[in-house]
Amino acid sequence: MTFETIETEIAEGIYTILLNRPDRMNAFTVQMARELITALDIADNDDAVRSVIVSGNGRAFCAGMDLSTEGNVFGLDETIAPESPDMVRNRDVGGEVVLRLYRMKKPVIGAINGASVGVGSTMQLPMDIRIGSPFSKFGFVFSQRGITLESCSSWFLPRLVGIQKALEWSFRGNVFGAEEALANGLISEIVDSEGLIKRAREIAHEITENTSAVSVAFNRQLLWRMMGASHPMEAHAAESRTMYHTSTRDGKEGVQSFLDKRPPEFTDSISQGAPRGFNWDEEPPFI
């Protein structure tokens, strides 16, 4: 499929998405949001894809929303009155991308190659692993623009870096470098710019080689979803269903290959679906 604001490639089971507006430092637009969602759908629905890498072309990852676009740059319809029932249609497009990332069944690695502020930072939060370069910069700059956190970052950010640091970054609205991001768990490592994508691919292969695609998908869903669970019983119920599902399929091969002292040959696929009682595509209504 041809895109205008992103580039995609699949190789060795890795689906790479590059934000591709380098002349605008990959500034985010409504069109880019729609194309990202389409690309993520393609990756998720292809059993040949085992992992996804997201990075940017040029010297930036994403310099935030393109503030030069006409109308409401956040994709919100200003003609809808706040008290109107139609407000349920007024969603920030960054949030729609983040929720699609949250529902992914494949591990997502962010290779943050340069500046990433505003939505450039918040869109990274549901990615499973984020690595940066010495030139990476981050910023939850909304307070300095007179707006609020977006892209579901008020849910993700404190869960990743703790409430104290999330409050500090969102109050100050400052831009900070890779070392501060690393120290606070926003990224997991800093890699030379020339080797950033190579390292992301190494991580992708480390995750997916000799593993069950279905097991990885369930584990991703379980960990993200259970962060918001009100009681461990929710985890017990979900894990019981997924454990039964996997132990009667790829789990049998996993056990047998261990006994045979050979690499496993997993055959179960994500496209065959989730077990009864575990809906990994379910999403609460936007109200």
Would you state the structure tokens that stand for residue 181, as one six-digit string?
């991001």
Question: In this model, does residue 73 exceed pLDDT 80?
Answer: no
Q: Which tens digit of pLDDT belongs to each residue from 134-155?
A: 999 999 999 999 999 999 999 9
- Whether the pTM exceeds 0.75: the reply is yes
First to last CA, the chain: 33
- CATH number corresponding to 6-208: 3.90.226.10
Smallest CA-to-CA distance from 69 within 18, 108, 30 is with: 30
Q: Does domain 213-272 have CATH number 2.60.120.10?
A: no
Q: Can you tell me the distance from the alpha carbon of 3 to that of 166, in angstroms, rounded to the nearest whole number?
A: 34
Torsion region of 81: left, alpha or beta (phi above 0 gives left; psi -120 to 50 gives alpha)? beta
Smallest CA-to-CA distance from 275 within 232, 230, 243 is with: 243
Q: Are 123 and 150 in contact (CB under 8 A)?
A: no
Q: Can you tell me the distance from the alpha carbon of 248 to that of 246, in angstroms, rounded to the nearest whole number?
A: 5
Question: In this model, does residue 58 exceed pLDDT 80?
Answer: yes
Q: Which tens digit of pLDDT belongs to each residue from 246-262?
A: 999 999 999 999 999 99
Q: What pLDDT is stored for residue 209 in this prediction? A: 93
Domain boundaries, the chain: 6-208, 213-272
Q: What pLDDT is stored for residue 277 in this prediction? A: 85
